[in-house]
Amino acid sequence: MMLTAEELQQLTANAAFFCNLAALDMQERGRHIHLTEQLRTSIVESRELRSGFEFKLAASISLGELVEWVFNESKCCPFFDFTVNLQPHGSGLWLKLEGRDGVKPFIKAELNF
């Protein structure tokens, strides 16, 4: 379930975060929504961190698709800190998504987990 633009704006306003919903054009937004769903369904493990979460991803999302998602998400939500970790010998692809205090509820809502 995706948040509506209004729900996302309300959540970010309450958490002192902002999303630039105009950062992506309609075509980019459609692709980003698709990649966000792909990312969501690729999460096979999650770890809660002090300042966010770390996600192990299944092979159902490629490194290129993940990088594309990170690039576009950083345009919309510039308050995130992203780390992509590709482990040796194909043993894992990880995404670390962090930010300042209060970002964890936002991440949970954004990724719907």
**Domain holding 106: CATH number?**
3.10.28
pLDDT value of residue 106? 83
**At residue 88, does pLDDT exceed 80?**
yes
Q: Please state the domain count of the chain.
A: 1
CA 60 to chain centre: 16
- Domain span at residue 65 reads 5-11+18-111
pLDDT single digits (tens) 12-59: 555 556 778 889 999 999 999 999 999 999 999 999 999 999 999 999
Mean pLDDT of 83-98: 91
Choice among 8-12, 23-27, 75-79, 102-106 with the minimum mean pLDDT: 8-12
**At residue 103, does pLDDT exceed 80?**
yes
Q: Report the candidate in 58, 48, 64, 23 with the shortest Cα–Cα distance to residue 98.
A: 48
pLDDT value of residue 44? 96
**At residue 11, does pLDDT exceed 60?**
no
| DSSP designation for 22 | T
Q: Whole-number mean pLDDT of the chain?
A: 87
Of residues 9 and 69, more confidently modeled = 69
Q: Report the candidate in 39, 29, 27, 28 with the shortest Cα–Cα distance to residue 8.
A: 29
